[in-house]
Amino acid sequence: MLDRRTETPRKPDHSPDAPVSGVARFAMLAPFATRSFRFQWPADLLTSWAFEMETIILAWYVLVETGSVLWLTAFGALQYLGTLIAPVYGVVGDRLGHKSLLLGMRAAYAVFAATLLTFALLGAVTPMVVLIVATLMGLVRPSDLGVRSALIAETMPARTLISALSVSRTTTDSARVAGALLGASIFTFFGLVPAYVIITSFYVIGTLLMLGDTAPLRRYRRKCISCLS
């Protein structure tokens, strides 16, 4: 490319504000030029879908089995129990890194879902078991959105940060429609066990995808080594 005034080759602009080429030219697709986002976005999507599927299925189960709106209300309240300890997650994220924290949270979801799936396979699911699992899940789930946003802010370049946060929001919005419909349909036609096989699979795949990029873990490891030296 030639400069119009001097007719000499123009040096490429490598500054942070330089225009990007290829896929990154499209605002919606620009965040996917960053490797970490290509792994985090599908992980967030599957997790959000599993959240909505699990919520509607378990709420339906509690209402049908107990016939009590009071127990259904208690189940709904337990989903947000973790808001009381949300500041603790902020401290842990600063200490261990948001990547490590989110990875641990996603692994916890998979364990909780696998536990309930095991009870379902054994025919031992009761409303009390559901409420206990909901309590454990409720201690972790409310902080998921904040931690995933913090990880995006940590890993994305400044020029694509807003686009990344906007695209990330689609994971939650789509789950409220498609995830809820999928969960209700599977539970209605196939029952609790097949539905929870899919939910558990979503959580497991979401956890594995979080292992796709280890850059934040490496940065934290170097920081720890520098602190000890």
Task: Give the DSSP letter string of the chain.
Answer: -B-TTT-SBPPP--STTSPP-GGGGSTTTGGGGSHHHHHHHHHHHHHHHHHHHHHHHHHHHHHHHH--HHHHHHHHHHTTGGGGGHHHHHHHHHHH-HHHHHHHHHHHHHHHHHHHHHHHHTT---HHHHHHHHHHHHHHGGGHHHHHHHHHHHHS-GGGHHHHHHHHHHHHHHIIIIIHHHHHHHHHHH-HHHHHHHHHHHHHHHHHHTTS--HHHHHHHHHHHHHH-
pLDDT tens track for 50-62 = 999 999 999 999 9
Q: Stretch 84-109: mean pLDDT, rounded? A: 91
Position 26 scores a pLDDT of: 66
* Mean pLDDT score across all residues of the chain: 83
Averaged pLDDT, 183-202 = 93
Would the pLDDT of 216 be above 60?
no
101 pLDDT tier (thresholds 50, 70, 90): very high
Report the alpha-carbon angle 197-114-173, nearest 5.
Answer: 65
Residue with tokens 């972790």: 140
Q: What percent of the chain has pLDDT over 90?
A: 54
Q: Give me the pLDDT at residue 178, please.
A: 87
Confidence (pLDDT) at 179: 85
Inform me whether the pLDDT recorded for 15 exceeds 90.
no
Confidence at 28, pLDDT banded by 50, 70, 90: confident
Q: pLDDT band at residue 105, thresholds of 50, 70 and 90?
A: very high
CATH architecture of residue range(s) 35-220: Up-down Bundle (1.20)
**What pLDDT is recorded for position 122?**
94
Query: pLDDT by residue (tens digit) across 129-157?
Result: 999 999 999 999 999 999 999 999 988 88
pTM of structure? 0.81
Instruction: State residue 33's pLDDT score.
Output: 86
Q: Mean pLDDT across the stretch 154-175?
A: 88
